[in-house]
């Protein structure tokens, strides 16, 4: 293990420069440069090697606490790592996006789980999903019906989850279930093993032919008491804390993708005046997302507790993602749909169509900003 630590680099920028030098010079990193996955399953298998490489060399451990297997430092180091990977055309392994959403929650509400399980997640030896939405409870999580029932020293889960990203590739899932009465006060968050009797994970084939999402059917899946995240009945508060990472930190990670794809698009096809306005529009929205989410990461690094204003991050993400992929499709013309070399890019385009829905719908985010940020009346 190299002698890296939080104080090895004076700033995240110096860390990013050193990481870039390592990735450019170490031959073990070269199979991952410009990698284009033929499928999500192939990507998960191939990129596990990349996760192990940058973990074993210490690079992905910066920005996580030492108690949980990290090397210290704040979230700005993780943000710098993501930006460096995008800049150098490395595909970011999907588990890193889940890490950015779930692990900060564990550090606050279940540090014993973070200390035990974070190293395996960072290295790629373990994979997790997030299971909140249900067939009758999407944006309205307070109406979810999956039950968490006491059983000896633990609990049993009964119900169904849907739209769990990469659920069929995950060993465990952070899950929100009902442990008490109706409404948000009766919810509890837990970590459940998916490779057990009573848990059935079924992939959902999307229009691009990929298995982005899964359904999870629960019929008595067991949850030990120590896998409760927070306290019984505290699930809503834990979920609200999670949102600042799901919308802010996720937005920063994605803006790097948008900038890289626009840059590549200009290299793949010549430009003309017909596309200049849409290209400029997409770059402007991606830059707005970058600037705003950079500020969010800075606030998270200062351990500020962000409130409903993180819905602005999600709204900017929706605009930037939609504009970026509309521009890519317009600029490349029919090549996006017909060129076999662009199958991976077409898959990204198709996934972008869900931007106004995933992680909180466009309409819900606008309502939150109007009422809880701007103070506008409900009527």
Annotation marks residue 226 as catalytic: no
List helix spans (H) across 75-222.
Answer: 75-87, 94-109, 111-123
Name the phi and psi angles at 150, rounded to 5.
-60, 145
Catalytic position from the list 41, 246, 309, 321: 246
For 191, residues 6+ apart whose C-beta sits below 8 A from its C-beta are 110, 113, 128, 172, 173, 174, 175, 223, 227, 229
Distance of CA 2 to the CA centre of its chain: 28
Tokens matching residue 375: 């103070």
Q: To 10 degrees, what angle do helices 250-268 and 310-332 make? A: 10
Distances (CA, A) of 36 to 16, 224, 252, 340: 23, 39, 22, 12
CB 128 within 8 A of CB 172: yes
User: Encoding tokens for residue 366?
Assistant: 């606008």
| Token pair in block for residue 225 | 């008491």
Active site residues: 246
């Amino acid at each position: 293990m190299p002698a890296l630590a939080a104080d090895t680099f004076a700033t995240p920028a110096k860390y990013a420069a050193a990481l870039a030098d390592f990735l450019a010079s170490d031959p073990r990193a070269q199979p991952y440069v410009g990698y284009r996955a033929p499928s999500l399953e192939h990507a998960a298998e191939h990129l596990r090697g990349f996760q192990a490489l940058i973990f074993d060399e210490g690079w992905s451990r910066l920005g996580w606490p030492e108690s949980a297997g990290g090397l210290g430092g704040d979230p700005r180091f993780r943000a710098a790592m993501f930006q460096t990977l995008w800049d150098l055309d490395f595909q970011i392994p999907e588990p890193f996006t889940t890490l950015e959403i779930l692990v900060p929650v564990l550090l606050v509400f279940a540090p014993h789980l973070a200390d035990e399980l974070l190293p395996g997640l960072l290295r790629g030896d373990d994979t997790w999903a997030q299971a909140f939405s249900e067939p009758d409870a999407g944006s309205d999580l307070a109406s979810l019906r999956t039950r968490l029932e006491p059983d000896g020293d633990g609990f049993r889960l009964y119900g169904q989850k849907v739209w769990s990203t990469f659920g069929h590739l995950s060993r465990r899932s952070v899950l929100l279930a009902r442990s008490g009465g109706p409404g948000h006060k009766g919810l509890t968050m837990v970590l459940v093993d998916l490779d057990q009797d009573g848990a059935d994970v079924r992939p959902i084939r999307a229009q691009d032919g990929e298995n982005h999402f899964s359904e999870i059917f629960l019929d008595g899946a067991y949850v030990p008491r120590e896998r409760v995240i927070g306290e019984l009945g505290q699930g809503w508060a834990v979920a609200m804390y999670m949102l600042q990472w799901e919308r802010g930190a996720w937005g920063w990670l994605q803006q790097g993708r948008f900038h890289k794809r626009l840059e590549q698009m200009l290299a793949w096809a010549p430009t003309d005046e017909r596309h200049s306005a849409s290209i400029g529009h997409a770059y402007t929205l991606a830059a707005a997302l970058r600037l705003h989410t950079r500020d969010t990461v800075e606030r998270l690094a200062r351990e500020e507790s962000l409130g409903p204003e993180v819905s602005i991050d999600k709204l900017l993400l929706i605009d930037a993602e939609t504009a970026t992929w509309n521009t890519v499709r317009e600029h490349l013309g029919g090549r996006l749909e017909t060129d076999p070399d662009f199958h991976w890019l077409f898959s990204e385009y198709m996934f972008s169509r869900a931007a106004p829905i995933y992680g909180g719908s466009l309409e819900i985010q606008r309502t939150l900003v109007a009422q809880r940020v701007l103070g506008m009346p409900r009527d």
